Amino acid sequence: MQLRTRTKILPIVLLAAGLAWIFLSADRSGTLAGGRPPAPQEGFPAPDFTLATTTGREVTLSELRGQVALVNFWATWCPPCRSEMAAIQEVYDRYMERGFVVLAVNATRQDTLSSIAPFTDEFGLTFPIPLDVSGAVERLYEVKSLPTSFFIDAAGVIREVVIGGPMSEALLQSIVEGLLE
């Protein structure tokens, strides 16, 4: 009888010890192993960055707090990127007076500097075009495909992520209006 009792109790003790170990060793810091923050995603603060634009001006994301921002990663050779640029410009023109800003981050490491100016002229782009020459911001945002867009609220929190495209003007307008309210 004593052996049967031990046989029943041993799994319960091991399970309890395992649960205690999981609870006591859990990382509650909000970062991944290695001290890195979690991948940029909805509901988390947008990682800050500073990049030079095509006009030579530096732009820092955190300095745009108080405004709704679209951070769009793109390249001139990318067909969906080309397809959505006119819609992004249209929505920017419509809502910039209400506090909407676009940072169209060119994935310059995957593109050519000489093709950017003709592209922006072709589409009449008036929003800032930061150049991610080293790919550091692409890596920071864990961009795996182009285009990838992050919609960031006035508090600096990512509220929507759109991977792929092209985004329609209606979709852009819907997201931006929701964030501006």
Q: What proportion of the chain, given as a percentage, has pLDDT over 70?
A: 80
Note whether 84 and 123 are within 8 A (CB): no
CA atoms of 14 and 58, how far apart (whole Å): 57
User: Domains in the chain, please, with CATH?
Assistant: 50-180 (3.40.30.10)
Report the predicted TM-score, pTM, of the whole model to 2 decimal places: 0.79
Interhelix angle 169-180/79-95, rounded to 10 degrees, is 40
Q: Give the pLDDT confidence score for residue 20 in this predicted structure.
A: 64
Tell me the pairing of strands 148-152 and 100-106: unpaired
Q: What proportion of the chain, given as a percentage, has pLDDT over 90?
A: 74
Phi–psi pair at 150, nearest 5 degrees: -120, 120
Give ∠ CA 146-128-116 in degrees, rounded to 5: 60
CA distances from 56 to 65, 95, 103 (A): 21, 25, 14
pLDDT single digits (tens) 62-86: 999 999 999 999 999 999 999 999 9
Note whether 30 and 45 are within 8 A (CB): no
Note whether 165 and 84 are within 8 A (CB): yes
Q: Output the average pLDDT for the chain.
A: 88
Higher pLDDT among residues 25 and 116, named by residue: 116
At 22 the three-state DSSP class reads: helix
pLDDT single digits (tens) 29-65: 554 445 555 668 888 999 999 999 999 999 999 999 9
CA atoms of 81 and 146, how far apart (whole Å): 7
